A and B are shown apart, each in its own frame.
Chain A
Amino acid sequence: MSGSPPLVEAYDLEKVYPDGTVAVRGVSFRAGRGLTIFMGPNGSGKTTTLSITAGALRPTSGRVLVCGYDVWGRDWSRPRSCIGYAPQAMPFREKLSVIENLTWYGLIRGLPPWESRRRARWLLEQLGLEGLERKKVSELSGGQRRRLTIAASLIGDPEVLILDEPTSGLDPKARASLWSLLRRVAGDKAIIASTHIPDEAEGADYVYIFHRGRVVAEGAPGELIGRYVRYSRVIVKGSGLEVAPTMEWARLVEAGWDRAVYVTEDPEEALPRLVERLLKLGARIERVEVRKPGLAEVFLAVTGEAPEGGA
C-alpha cells in the first residue's frame, strides 16, 4: 500500500455464491490516501472485492475495516458514511435532472438538501459539467456521465472513494483526462479503483493484481515492474519476417509475415545485431519499436496470461 496510514484494511476476504462459484478467495489488501488500483481481467474478482469493501455485498468470510470501523459489523452507518461508492454502471434516476440526481445522492448520505445542492454545484463546476444542471442524465454523453458518476461518489465528501472501472467505455484520451481530473478533485482522499487496462494502473500509487479471484501481486507500479520484469520488448514491423529466428541475446516470442516480437534484457546492445541478422535473412524492415516493460508484462510474468487491453 501507499505510504500513508491505511484507511481501508481487508483481511482474507472470501465470497462463495450459493451455486458454489468462488468469486474471491483469501484477498487481503490495505489502502491509504492516494490512488490504489485493482488491476486484472474481467471476472478476476475486482468488482466483488470492491462491492464487499463498499458494503454492498456481504462476504462469506473475512473482515473489512474502513476508517477504523468494521463494514460488516454492528455499526452499519459509520463505515459507510466514510465511503463514496460508484459501481461500474452508476444508477441515476431517469425522472430527475443532473442536479436533482446529485441532490438525491447527497440526501441518502445524510446531507441537508441545501448543502447537497451547494456541493453538487461545486462538483459540477470542478468536473466541467456546469450548465448541464437541468439536463436529464440520459441526455449526457458517455464522458459526461462518467464525470457525473465521480461527482455522485464525492457528494458526501467521503474519505474513501471506491470506483469500479471508472473509465469503462471511454477512449484513451478521455480516460487519461478522467484520471487526472479524479486525482485533482479527490485531493488527498483514499481512492480505490479498478481497471482491466494495465496502462491506466501505471499511474497509481499502489497496485493489486487480481487473477482468478486472488491477489497475485502487489506493490507500487515501478516496484512491480522491477521485481517481475527484466526485459524489454522489441517489435519489428515490415515484410518477410516469418524467417526471424530465436537468438542467444534476444528471444523470439512471436513471428509473422509482417511482424516479429523479441524480448531482451539489453535492448541497446541487441537492437543493431538483431536488425543486421534479419536483413541478412532477407527480411524487409520498415520500423523497429523498443517497449519498456510495464504492468502488462508484469501481469504476463505473474500469471502466464496476456492481460486484456494490454499492449
Chain B
Amino acid sequence: MSSTVWRVLSEVYASLKGMLRYKETLFWVIIFPLLWYGLMAAIWSNPSPPTIKVGVYNADQLQGPYNISEALIKAMNSTGFMKPIPFHNATSLREAVLHGKVDVGLIVPGNFTESLMEGSSATLKLLSVKESWGNFAYSIASSFIESFSNEFRRRVINVSISYIVTYFNSTQLGGAYPNWTYYAIRWLRFISDPIRVNASVYTPPLLATKGGLRAYYALSMIGVEALFVGLFTGALSVNEKRRDGTLTVLLASPMRDWELFTSETLAALASVGVSAAAVAAMSIATGAKYVVNTESLLLAVAFLLLGTLFTIGLGVILAALAKTPEGASALVNAIAFPVMFIGGIVIPYYVLPGYLKAFARYWPLSRFVIASRSVLLGLMSSSDAASFSIPAIIATIATYLVGVAIFKKLLARALEYH
C-alpha cells in the first residue's frame, strides 16, 4: 500500500489506541451511549398504554343481579388500562383526586340502577384535576362511560324490538299497518347503532413491539454519537492540535492538507463505528429486533456515516468561529445538547410540537437517523428511504465541502504564525 494510505490511517490508529488506553474516551464512546440506551429502553420501550387509576365511590342502593353500576365497574376493570379503586365516601375520593393518588374519580349516585330500570336518565359524576395527565385520564374515563352508555342503549333498544316483534304484530293495529313494524324496527336499529366499526386487525408493525422500540432507541443513541463525535472532531481538528503542538509536526510531515482532513474524518467514523457496534450488540442482547438484510444494513450504515460527515463539516465551520479549543467545545455543546432533544434524534419526531418538527425535518442528521430507523424497522422501503434522504445528502455534501475549505484556511493560517 502506498504511504498515503498509512498517513491517512494515522489518526485512526491514534484514536483507537487512545480509546483503549484512556478511560475518559472509552466512557464517551462506549459507556455513555450504552447507559443512555439502557435508560431510554427501560423507560420508553413498553408498547402497552399506561394504566389509569379510577377511584370509585359507589353509592348505588339497588343490589343484586341487575345492579348496573357493578357491571360498569367490572367492564372498566376488564379494559386492562383502567383500574377501579373503591372508596367509601365522596370526600375521601375528592381528596385522593386532589392529591394525585388516583387519576380520576367516579361517583355513582344512590338511585343510579333504579333510575335506569325505570327508564329515566341517571347521572354519574367524574372528578379530575385540570392538568395534562388529569385531562387525559378524564377523557379516557368519560369516553369509556359513553361507550358503556351506548352499549346499554343498544341492549334496551334490542329488548324493545323483540317486544314489537312479539306483541305488536299480533294486535289489530299491526294487521292494519303491516309495514309499520318493519320501519319502526329499522328506525330503532338505526338509533341503537348509527355508526358501526368494521375492524380489521393486522400483525403489529415492529415499532409497536418492545423489540422494535429498543431498536428505535439504539439507533437514536448511534445518532447521538454521530452528532457529538462529528461536531467535536470537526471543531477541534485544528484548534486543539495547534494548542498541543501536534499541528506543527503534522505540517512539517509529508501529510498534505486533504490527507490530514481525511485522517480526521476516518478517525471520527471509526469512533462512531465502535460506538455503533457496542450499542447494536447491547440492543440485540436486550431483545431489540431489526429488519436485517444486506440492503437495509448497508443503507442504514451509509445513512449514519453520511450523518457523521455532516456533523464533521459543521464542526469545522464552528471551529472558524472560535479562537480556542475551549471556545470551540462550548459552541459544540451549545448546539449539540438542544439538537439532541429537539432534532428528532432522542425524542421521537412525531411527539415534537409543530415548529420543532419543521426543524427536525430539515436537520440533515435527523433525516439520516429517521431514514436508517425506517429501513431497519421496516417502516420504509429502501428506495423510499433513499429518496427521503436526498435533501440531507445534498446538505451534507455542501456542508462537508465548506468544512474542507475552512479546514484548509485554518491550516494556512497556522502556517503563517505559531
Contact = CB atoms under 8 A, between A and B. Distances in A.
B5 to A, nearest CB: 9
Interface string A76-93: 111011010111011101
Interface stretch (A54-62, A213-221, A270-278, A292-300): A54-62
A111 B3 contact: yes
Nearest to B263: A108
B256 interface: yes
A17 B417 contact: yes
Contacts of A111: 3, 6
Given A51-B418, A91-B245, A113-B13, A80 B3 contact: no
B252 A56 contact: yes
Interface string B1-43: 1111011011001100110011001000000000000000000
B253 interface: yes
Contacts of B2: 110
B7 A57 contact: no
A110 B418 contact: no
Contacts of A113: 6, 13
B228 to A, nearest CB: 18
B249 A76 contact: no
B255 interface: yes
A309 B111 CA distance: 109
A55 B254 CA distance: 10
| Secondary structure call for the B interface | helix
Contacts of A103: 13
B249 A91 contact: yes
B13 A104 contact: yes
B21 A89 contact: no
Interface stretch (A94-102, A239-247, A281-289): A94-102
B251 interface: yes
Interface residues of B, number: 31
B243 to A, nearest CB: 10
B417 A97 contact: no
A109 interface: yes
B4 A110 contact: yes
B302 interface: no
A107 interface: yes
B118 interface: no
A24 B58 CA distance: 97
Contacts of B244: 91
Contact of B254 (A56, A57, A77): A77
Given A56-B252, A58-B416, A110-B254, A93 B14 contact: yes
Nearest to B250: A108
Contact of A91 (B7, B248, B417): B248
User: Nearest 3 A-B pairs (CB), nearest first?
Assistant: A110-B3, A95-B18, A91-B245
Given A83-B252, A85-B253, 11 more contacts: A17-B417, A51-B418, A54-B252, A77-B255, A81-B254, A93-B18, A95-B17, A100-B21, A110-B2, A110-B3, A111-B6
